[in-house]
Structures are given as structure tokens and as C-alpha cells.
């Protein structure tokens, strides 16, 4: 927290500090000119916004952090970007300062902070950065990087879904193909609904939880590789990664403690994707194999079994600034017999083969200053759904208003969206950018 506040103070005083140093340069003025030129390579932008999300259904929020509102905050974001005088090294910092009215606290969120260096065929990025892979729309297979589902379901804008990773990223641009290598020494888990603000199904109510994250050491360093190139009009990529599940598994803690341990099993993912023009639209394909390294036989009920996953997507522009996208996502669980035999009686069982259907419709109006969108997900196996209608209006070049809703439902309270049906909400975000 102290480091983030100090960094913010440096950002806010950066221009005046640079000017003061320049005024104290040598009589020749050469140092002053160099420093002034160095600062001119940087820009400072950001936004000021209010984000409010009332819950629109009745719910028993006993012991929770807030009830009527899932989100109520004012946020200031500052972005510093530019290159140093040599032009070979760049710096990017994105820092959020916010007041959370639901939790009644003021805090700082250093979202990104990294150095960039580019050569002829190579690139290097070191620091906190957001990394996105794959071709799915809110459906992820080979994107193994951390996400904030709790924020997204609570009404924060889509840009806050992806969390940053403290990583080193190497880019190689060679003749046969390009490649991206990511090395993340520090593990960061997904932020999933936990019952603190979003009501969820709890199989063990009243039992304390402890989160056991992988220690930061060379053995637990996460590594991911993407190799990609254009092939017959399609952007084709191959992926390989080794690290951990970012959504926790659950098992009883060591006796005699009466609590549940949330831990993160080891995981390796191998996959591929392709995206390009076809059938008078844009076709997307993605496949992946999830190799559960801590449960190769599938006999541990607390750890996910190995899975094969695939996605097929199609997006078409229908004219008049109207577009429609559809996706089909499938998951096949391996070693299903072992899973079924080891499943405790109190646990809800999953199907061996699971399917998901997703649709997005988007319409632009008023010279593309008004965007209407509707995103929906339906899981036939679980008979549950998620609906996300949204209106985004660019009032001026600097001022925008976003209003939307998150609607959850399902036949059973144990499914992903069925358990969230007491969290239906409407969100509104007013942003002034500068």
C-alpha cells in the first residue's frame, strides 16, 4: 500500500520535478534541453468515474459486505506512457485510486507497470502487465492468465475482467513464425465470487476457509508459450503452458483443524486456435487439453480431472452497423469412471460432456456514439444462463455513460449461474476521460 501511494505521488509530481531539474542544469543548457526532451516523450492521461451497482432482487445478506449495492465506488485512473530519450526503452504505468463505499475504504490498485524494449526482431517487457490469448468472447481455453470474475459479475466494465500478471514477456518475430514467451514467477489467482458480496452456493456453510497459494520460488514459476503466424488467411496459433489452476480446489485442512483449505493444483495446457474470414463472416476455432498434473488418474475428487475443450465461433456483420456473433463451447472430462467412483455422496455430479452456447448482438447508432449490446450464455447440461444487456453512450469526446444489467438464473442452485440468481443487478458507470 505504501509503495503504491509513493508511486502515485511521483506520478502526480512528475512534470514539475522534471522542470525543476532542467532549470538547475549546466550553464550550457545542454542538460536542460536533454531533460526537457526526455519528458516530452511521455504523456499522462486517465479518467475519473463513478460506478454503482444496485442489487435488484431480494436476498438474505446476513454477514455479508453490503447488500443493496454490490458496487459503489469513485475511481481515478492515471496512465503514464512514453519512451526514454534513447527511444529503445519504454515505460507504462496504469494506477487506480478509488473509494469503495460498500466496504467504506480508500485504496490504490497498481493495475499495470512495466518497462518495454524493442529490437529489430525481438521485444522484452518486464513488470506488471495484462496478457490475453485465444479467440473466444468471454469463453477462455488457452488464456491461462488471471481474471476477475467477481468484479465483472458485480458491474465493473469489461476492461476490469482481466487481472495483471507480474511477468517477463519475450517476443520473437522470425520468418517462419512469431512467438511469445511469458514467465511469471509470482502466482496470482482468479478473483471468483466468494460469498463476500455475491451470494453463492456453499456446500459447507459455517466452516472457516484458508487459502493456500503456491509459494514464490523457481519451482512454482508459471511458463506459457504462444507460437503464431498467418496461414492461408487465418491467424493460427499454438499454445503450451505449465503452472496452476487459477480457480481454487477445495479439501479439508489438516486435522484437528475444522476448516476447508482452498488450494491450487498444478496444471499443464496444450492447445491451438485459428481465426479468419470465412462463410462471409469471421470464423474462430480453438482447442485445448487440460492435463491435471496433481491427479493424473482422476481419483482425487477435490482436483479437476484432465479435460479436452474446444470452441467454434462465427461473427457476421449484417449491415447497418449491426453484428451478430455465436459460439459453441464443449468440454469432455477424461477418466470419468474414476471421477464418478470417488465423488462423495454430498457433492453434485457433473456430466462427462458439457456444452455452452453463447450469443452476442451489437448495434451502433448516432454516428457510432451509441452502442447497444446483448451477450448471453446458456449451459444445456445445467439448464442455467447469464444475460448481459448493455448501453454505452459517448456523450462527448471526454464523457461517456454505460448502463447495463447482469441477470443470472438456473434450475439448480449448485450450478455456476444458478447459484448466482440472487445477485441480479443493474450497473451504471459515468466516466470523464482526459
* Domain identity same for 161 and 195: yes
- DSSP of 324-375, one letter per residue? EEEEEEEEEESSHHHHHHH--TTSPP--SEEEEEEEEEEEEETTTTEEEEEE
In the prediction, which pLDDT does 120 show? 87
In the prediction, which pLDDT does 32 show? 52
* Domain identity same for 249 and 142: yes
CA distances from 27 to 1, 30, 38, 263 (A): 41, 8, 19, 62
The residue written with cell numbers 526503452 in the block is 89
CA atoms within 13 A on the CB side of 88: 4
* Domain-located, residue 90: yes
In the prediction, which pLDDT does 406 show? 99
* Domain-located, residue 388: yes
In the prediction, which pLDDT does 256 show? 57
Pick from 282, 260, 287, 285: which is nearest to 274 by CA?
Answer: 285
- The CATH code of the domain that includes 247 is 2.40.160
* Domain identity same for 231 and 89: no
Helix axes 2-12, 14-23, angle to 10 degrees: 60
In angstroms, the CA 341 to CA 351 distance is 14
Estimate the share of the chain in helix, then strand, then coil, as percent rounded to the nearest 5. Answer: 15, 50, 35
In the prediction, which pLDDT does 114 show? 99
Contact 200, 193 (CB under 8 A): yes
In the prediction, which pLDDT does 24 show? 41
Question: What phi, psi does 418 have (nearest 5°)?
Answer: -65, -35
Question: What phi, psi does 359 have (nearest 5°)?
Answer: -135, 135
- DSSP tag of 186: S
Residue-number span of the structural domain to which 175 is assigned:
119-433
* Domain-located, residue 402: yes
In the prediction, which pLDDT does 254 show? 64
In angstroms, the CA 97 to CA 4 distance is 10
Contact 408, 401 (CB under 8 A): no
* Domain-located, residue 416: yes
In angstroms, the CA 244 to CA 242 distance is 7
* Domain-located, residue 317: yes
284 strand-pairing partners: 275, 313
* Domain-located, residue 72: yes
* Domain identity same for 143 and 73: no
* Domain identity same for 347 and 425: yes
What contacts 365, CB < 8 A, 6 or more positions away? 321, 371, 372
The per-type count for the chain, helices as H runs and strands as E runs, is 5, 21
* Domain identity same for 132 and 190: yes
* Domain identity same for 396 and 419: yes
* Domain identity same for 66 and 126: no
Instruction: pLDDT tens for the chain, 434 residues: list them.
Output: 444 444 444 344 444 333 333 344 444 455 555 555 667 899 999 999 999 999 999 999 888 888 999 999 999 999 999 999 777 899 999 999 999 999 999 999 999 999 999 988 999 999 999 999 999 999 999 999 999 999 999 999 999 999 999 999 999 999 999 999 999 999 999 999 999 999 999 888 888 889 999 999 999 999 999 999 999 999 999 999 999 999 999 987 765 567 899 999 999 999 999 999 999 999 999 999 999 999 999 999 999 999 999 999 999 999 999 999 999 999 999 999 999 999 988 788 999 999 999 999 999 999 999 999 999 999 999 999 999 999 999 999 999 999 999 999 999 999 999 999 999 999 999 999 99
* Domain identity same for 165 and 301: yes
Pick from 44, 129, 47, 33: which is nearest to 82 by CA?
Answer: 44
Tell me the pTM: 0.90
Q: How many other CB atoms are found less than 10 A from the CB of residue 241? A: 22
Task: State the Cα torsion 292-297-300-306 to the nearest 10°.
Answer: 30
In angstroms, the CA 126 to CA 129 distance is 8
- Side by side, which strands form the sheet with 208-212? 208-212, 259-263, 249-252
* Domain-located, residue 114: no
The residue written with cell numbers 451509441 in the block is 370
* Domain-located, residue 153: yes
Total domains in the chain come to 2
What contacts 347, CB < 8 A, 6 or more positions away? 203, 301
* Domain identity same for 429 and 342: yes
* Domain identity same for 384 and 274: yes
Amino acid at each position: 500500500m505504501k509503495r503504491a501511494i509513493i508511486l502515485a505521488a511521483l506520478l502526480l509530481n512528475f512534470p514539475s520535478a522534471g522542470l525543476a531539474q532542467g532549470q538547475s542544469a549546466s550553464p550550457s543548457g545542454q542538460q536542460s534541453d536533454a531533460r526537457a526532451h526526455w519528458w516530452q516523450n511521455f504523456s499522462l492521461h486517465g479518467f475519473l468515474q463513478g460506478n454503482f451497482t444496485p442489487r435488484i432482487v431480494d436476498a438474505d445478506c446476513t454477514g455479508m459486505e453490503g447488500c443493496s449495492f454490490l458496487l459503489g465506488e469513485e475511481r481515478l485512473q492515471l496512465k503514464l506512457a512514453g519512451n526514454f530519450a534513447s527511444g529503445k526503452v519504454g515505460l507504462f504505468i496504469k494506477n487506480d485510486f478509488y473509494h469503495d463505499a460498500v466496504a467504506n475504504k480508500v485504496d490504490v490498485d497498481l493495475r499495470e507497470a512495466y518497462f518495454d524494449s524493442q529490437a529489430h526482431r525481438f521485444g522484452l517487457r518486464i513488470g506488471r502487465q495484462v496478457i490475453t490469448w485465444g479467440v473466444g468472447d468471454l469463453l477462455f481455453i488457452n488464456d491461462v492468465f488471471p481474471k476477475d470474475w467477481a468484479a465483472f459479475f458485480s458491474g465493473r466494465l469489461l476492461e476490469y475482467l482481466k487481472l495483471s500478471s507480474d511477468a517477463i514477456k519475450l517476443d520473437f518475430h522470425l520468418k517462419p513464425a512469431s512467438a511469445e514467451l511469458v514467465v511469471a514467477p509470482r502466482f496470482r489467482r482468479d478473483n471468483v465470487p466468494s460469498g463476500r458480496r455475491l451470494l453463492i452456493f456453499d456446500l459447507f456453510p459455517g466452516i472457516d476457509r484458508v487459502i493456500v497459494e503456491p509459494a514464490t520460488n523457481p519451482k512454482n514459476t508459471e511458463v506459457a508459450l504462444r507460437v503464431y503466424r498467418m496461414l492461408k488467411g487465418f491467424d493460427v496459433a499454438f499454445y503450451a503452458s505449465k503452472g496452476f489452476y487459477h480457480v481454487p480446489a477445495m479439501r479439508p485442512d489438516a486435522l484437528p483443524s475444522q476448516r476447508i483449505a482452498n488450494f491450487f493444483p498444478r496444471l499443464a495446457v496444450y492447445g491451438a486456435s485459428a481465426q479468419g474470414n470465412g462463410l462471409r463472416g469471421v470464423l474462430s476455432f480453438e482447442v485445448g487439453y487440460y492435463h491435471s498434473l496433481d491427479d493424473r488418474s482422476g481419483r482425487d475428487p477435490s482436483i479437476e480431472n484432465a479435460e479436452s475443450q474446444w470452441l467454434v465461433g462465427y461473427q457476421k456483420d449484417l449491415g447497418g452497423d449491426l453484428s451478430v456473433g455465436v459460439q459453441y463451447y464443449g468440454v469432455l472430462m477424461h477418466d470419468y469412471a474414476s471421477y464418478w467412483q470417488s465423488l462423495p455422496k454430498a457433492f453434485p455430479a457433473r456430466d462427462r460432456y458439457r456444452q455452452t452456447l453463447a450469443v452476442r448482438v451489437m448495434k451502433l447508432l448516432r454516428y457510432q456514439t451509441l452502442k447497444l449490446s446483448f451477450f448471453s450464455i446458456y449451459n444445456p447440461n445445467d439448464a442455467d444462463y447469464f444475460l448481459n444487456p448493455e448501453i454505452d453512450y459517448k456523450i462527448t469526446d471526454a464523457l461517456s455513460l454505460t448502463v447495463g444489467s447482469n441477470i443470472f438464473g438456473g434450475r439448480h442452485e449448485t450450478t455456476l449461474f444458478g447459484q448466482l440468481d440472487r445477485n441480479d443487478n443493474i450497473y451504471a458507470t459515468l466516466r470523464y476521460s482526459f
